[in-house]
Amino acid sequence: MSPLFLQTLTYRLKDVQSGLTEAEEEADETRKESRRARDEFLELKKKRCDLFYKAYNHMSGCIDKTYKDLTKGEKDQGGVAFLSLEDAEVSIRITLHHGPMLMRRNLI
């Protein structure tokens, strides 16, 4: 092989190695950014869930008494209401279940 050919191969090898090193550094930076974004997302998701459960537990504890107060009559106790949670991990969906107040009629 001629010295000129070997020199050309050496330059090309150095160029390819330089490109490979640059690509590896860029890939490492991208991985770090991806991990940081994932950790931030999980932290926000946990905070969101914590705040949601705090609000849900508060509302769930108050809803029956409030509904009873709204629907009670002079002789009736009022209706019944409660919240149920459906698949909180995937999406937050709340269902309100309520029952009618007792209806009593006097037959003459």
pLDDT score of 8 more than 90 = no
C-alpha distances (whole Å) from 1 to each of 4, 20, 81, 85 are 8, 26, 90, 77
Q: Say what the pLDDT of residue 30 is.
A: 97
Mean pLDDT of all residues belonging to the chain = 82
Q: Say what the pLDDT of residue 79 is.
A: 79
Q: Say what the pLDDT of residue 92 is.
A: 67
Among 61, 60, 66, smallest CA distance to 79 is for 66
78 C-beta neighbours (distance < 10 Å), count: 19
Q: Say what the pLDDT of residue 105 is.
A: 40
Mean pLDDT of 53-70: 86
Q: Say what the pLDDT of residue 36 is.
A: 98
Q: Say what the pLDDT of residue 2 is.
A: 83
- pTM for the model stands at 0.60
- pLDDT confidence tier of residue 81, bands split at 50, 70 and 90: confident
Q: Say what the pLDDT of residue 108 is.
A: 37
- pLDDT confidence tier of residue 106, bands split at 50, 70 and 90: very low
Contacts 24+ apart (CB under 8 A), 23-32: none
Cα separation of 99 and 44, whole Å? 37
